[in-house]
Structure 1
Amino acid sequence: MENVSSNIKVRPAASGKAERSKSGFWLVVLGAALWGADPLFRIILLKEHMTATQIVLIEHILLVLFVAPMLWKHRSELKGLKLRHVGALLFLSWGGSAIATILFTQGLSSGNLNAVVLLQKLQPIFAILMAKLLLREKLPKHFTWLFIVALAGTYLLTFGFTFPFGHVNDFVKVGSLFSLGAAALWGGSTVMGRLMVGKMEYETVTSLRFILALPLLIGITINQGDPWQVHTDGGTLAAVSINMLGQALLPGLFSLMVYYKGLTTTKASVATLAELSFPMVSVLINWIVFHQVVTPTQAVGFILIWAALFMISRKSAA
């Protein structure tokens, strides 16, 4: 009640809160925009005849070099971990960091680039469903109908107005299915991250996410036995190295840190708007670099997905 009776106290506090909220919004925009540059790096590497698993493995090796000192600094937080915490960390690292990234990379090599990217907006849907199952969180009002709208948008993004089962082989090879799998795992990783809130610092969880994924990626790469076909001439090797480093640091580590920093002062409904910078940047890059234009059907599908997510986030915030 003291703030109500004093204009001198209220205004600076409100102003400071508004400034933090404003800066947080633009941090979310920046972090999501950096995610939008991720396909550019991955497609260039795929054109160098590297497999999706090989790209993700090297990416994680680079990331581990950067986050290992961070984990060492917070090593005391590893004491007293319970089985559910270990399970959450394994889902984060194996599912969200290793397998999901492989699926997304594979989707870029075998599907429509814009559809693969835009389908990632479904991540919050999967996160809400898993939060309901695992954390017993209450679903937002009218979630079922909004979910159906999002599914309709997903269908349009993936198949357009055609029936997908005319040729089974074509259906199985649709890159959008890989993208959906990645979105499901990344959405689930959000829930697993919530389980770790209060148990560890965010820096510790981030470093464990990359470090624990490394043994699995090494095992998958060895089991696949694909030859490494990167050209060894100086120019090509330098270009590949720069792309790998840029991919690991910009849309990988740096964007993740910036995004979560901004999210601490940004409402969920506002963050949904800010995250539109992700598909917008990706679609723009696909248009300029890879000459892929968004079709009217894809535009309608994306609008349906975003409208459903926006309504869900508004109801969740309420």
Structure 2
Amino acid sequence: MNAKIEKPILWGSLAVALAALLWSLDGTFLRPQLYSLPSVLVVFLEHLLGFFVLFPFLIIYRKQIKNITKKQWLAVFWVALFGGALGTTFITKALFLTGFHDISVVILLQKFQPIFAIVLAAIFLRERFPKNFYIYTAIALVAGYFMTFKNPWTIGNLANAVSGVIVYALLAAFAWGSATAFGKYSIKNISYGLLASLRFGLTVLIMLIPAIRYFNGLGDINGIQWKTLIIIVFSSGAAAMFIYYYGLKKISASLATLCELSWPISAVLLDYIINKNILSWTQIIGALIVIGAITKIMLNNRSYHLNGKVIAGLGQGEKTGLHTANLELSVATKTKMPKGLYTCALEIESKPYSGLLYYGYNSLTKKDCLEAHILNFSGDIYGQTILIITERYLRLPKKFASIEELTKQMKKDLKLMEN
């Protein structure tokens, strides 16, 4: 892999993993100190203090605000509402309801976030489900039941399944999973620092209305609790989110989800070491299966790196209106990537480009092919080695009766690429 691309991926992965480790400190060490406070007030205060810290980035990158499109503003608002206000409120409420005795279950249930993120990406961004998505999702859901209860064989657990702790934990997973999908979209052409400050600022405005009823009790917050709130800001709160968006800017959402596994693993270990909470053997097996199934889902939806030499084609690709580069099929087969159409990033002669990568049956040549359609490029690259990184899976391979049908489909694919 080209070093120019490999290094950002490494730093991005480490940043997301570090942010996840900081999150694991929250429920074990910090949030228990705030147990006596209303969860809504806690969420408001931690975001207000966090916004004060992140405000300088709003000033520094204020010129980038004009680059935010209407769709991106909606995405940023979604991130603030679900990722900031609702997600944090739900997880805080779930932890408070446990009395901080079984927080491992609450944390492990957050590993359903990728399923929610993929479903929302399919609905709003028109991405397809990974090939084996339904199978692994079913496995994860069944294993999730065993992970949730110490004694899964008790019929009474079906009633407990709708208890506040489980419901709030799953709502948090949905809220944060959706925030990941929309966060990646909203960070496309703005700084990670700007997105973090906008998220915290909008969350403060959103939480102001429900929190204002508790303002009379601000004087009852003791020194230890104020100190805890400040520590949260500089650890699991604003600082962790700033680090997370730094990493998310450099890596795919699917890779970020895998790096986030450091959160539940470290949280469960800390819960055992600090609070002496022990999972039952069925919970441990269920947790391992959930993590394995979610990991498999994300690996099926990951980015693929292809490095190959451009070979001669039949010249049919130019008729679609895009510059086409053909590569040997072996470049794709050795990665075991699913056949279909992807959006992709390309590096040609050390310059970045975007485009579409198609791997599958070619109706014009009557055989499988691997070809990249490069946007805003002209020139002869025959014989050159190019680097391609897939981004989003758009659709399965299709057969076309004519070049006109193919061209029409390519125009539709380009519109999907803009979403």
In the superposition, the TM-score normalised over structure 2's length comes to 0.64
Q: What is the SS of the residue equivalent to 2:195?
A: helix
Indicate if the aligned counterparts of 2:40 and 2:210 stay in contact, CA closer than 8 A: yes
The change in CA–CA distance for 1:26 and 1:215 in structure 2 (over 3 A counts) is closer
The 3 A distance-change label for structure 1 pair 26 and 214 is closer
1:208 aligns with 2:198: yes
The aligned counterpart of 1:41 is 30
Judged with a 3 Å threshold, the aligned counterparts in structure 2 of structure 1 residues 172 and 228 are, in CA distance, closer, same or farther, namely: farther
- Provide closer, same or farther for how the CA distance between residues 60 and 78 of structure 1 changes in structure 2, counting only shifts above 3 A: same
3-state secondary structure, aligned to 2:301: helix
Partner of 1:228, secondary structure, is: helix
Equivalences for residues 18-167 of structure 1 within 5 A: 22-39=10-27, 40-46=29-35, 49-79=36-66, 81-111=68-98, 112-159=102-149, 160-162=151-153
**For residue 72 of structure 2, what is the amino acid of its counterpart?**
H
Aligned counterpart for 2:291 among listed residues 295, 299, 306? 306
> Whole-Å Cα distance in 2 between the matches of residues 166 and 184 of structure 1?
22
Residue 202 of structure 1 and its aligned partner are, at CA, apart by 1.9
1:189-208 paired onto structure 2 within 5 Å: 189-208=179-198
Tell me which protein shows more helix as a share of its residues.
1
- Give me the whole-angstrom Cα distance separating, in 1, the residues matched to 2:250 and 2:67: 30
AA aligned to 1:145 is I
Residue 316 of structure 1 deviates from its aligned partner by 1.2
Unmatched segments (≥5 aa) in structure 1? 1-9
| Cα distance in 2 for residues equivalent to 1:144 and 1:275 | 22
Please show how residues 214-293 of structure 1 align to structure 2 within 5 Å. 214-223=204-213, 225=214, 228=217, 231=220, 237-263=222-248, 271-293=256-278
Question: Following the alignment from structure 1 to structure 2, what is the Cα–Cα distance between the partners of residues 306 and 220?
Answer: 35
Q: Is the 8 A contact 2:143 2:286 kept in 1?
A: yes
Q: Cα distance, 1:292 vs. partner?
A: 1.1
Structure 2 residue matching 1:251: 3-state secondary structure: coil
Distance (Å, rounded) in 2 between the aligned partners of 1:17 and 1:74: 25
**1:72–1:219: structure 2 CA closer, same or farther, 3 Å change rule?**
same
Root-mean-square deviation (CA), in Å? 2.7
Which amino acid counterpart does residue 74 of structure 1 have in structure 2? Y
| Cα separation, 2, equivalents of 1:113 and 1:138 | 34
CA contact (8 A) 2:117 2:178 kept: yes
Indicate the percent of aligned positions where both proteins have the same amino acid: 28
Q: Which runs of 5+ in 2 are unaligned?
A: 303-336, 338-419
Query: Structure 2: how far apart are the matches of 1:192 and 1:264?
Result: 13
For residues 19 and 195 of structure 1, the distance between their equivalents in structure 2, rounded to whole angstroms, comes to: 22
Q: CA deviation at 1:54?
A: 1.2
- The letter of the residue matching 2:144 is T
Task: Name the structure 1 match of 2:173.
Answer: 183
- Please state how far the C-alpha of 1:275 moved relative to its aligned partner: 2.6
> What is the deviation of 1:22?
4.8
Compute the displacement of 1:231 (Å).
Answer: 4.9
Distance 1:188 1:62, change over 3 A: same
**2: distance between equivalents of 1:265 and 1:199?**
12
Residue aligning to 1:6: none
Structure 2 match to 1:4: none
| TM-score normalised by L of structure 1 | 0.83
Higher fraction of strand: 2
Whole-Å separation in 2 of the counterparts to 1:167 and 1:201: 45
Of structures 1 and 2, the one with the larger relative CO (CA 8 A, separation 6+) is: 1
Query: Deviation of residue 117 (structure 1)?
Result: 0.7
After superposition, the C-alpha distances for 1:4-45 in whole angstroms (9 at most, x for unaligned) are xxxxxx9xx65x766665555443332211111111211221
Provide the C-alpha distance between the structure 1 equivalents of 2:157 and 2:19, rounded to a whole number of angstroms.
40
Confirm or deny: 8 A CA contact 1:50 1:229 kept in the other structure.
no
Shift of 1:256: 2.5
